[in-house]
Amino acid sequence: MRLLIVEDQSELADLVRTNLAREGFAVSVVEGAGSVVIADNIIDGADRAIVGYRWSDPVTGDLAHGDGGGFRHLRIEKNLVS
């Protein structure tokens, strides 16, 4: 694990945009996972905005514009994807 100290929000946005973000959010869709709310975010520049994972494997398409992909523990709403 690496510790990263960011001085301001614009620096963080640049870092994420250029180095880290292929996906805006990764959320567990493993059976028995706890409740998750992903709401009111601006997701910019990601290849896929919200992706469901079973452990380390991506198992959904982009969930940003749907109803949580049929996973009852997910509440995904009012996210702006650009």
Instruction: Compute the residue count for the chain.
Output: 82
User: End-to-end CA distance of the chain, in Å?
Assistant: 30
Where the chain has pLDDT below 70, the residues are 1-21
pLDDT value of position 13: 63
Percentage of residues of the chain with pLDDT beyond 90: 54
Dihedral-angle region of residue 45 (phi above 0 means left; psi in -120 to 50 means alpha; beta otherwise):
left
Quote the pLDDT of residue 66.
77
pTM above 0.75, yes or no: no
Q: What is the pLDDT of residue 71?
A: 94
8 Rama class: left (phi>0) / alpha (psi -120 to 50) / beta: beta
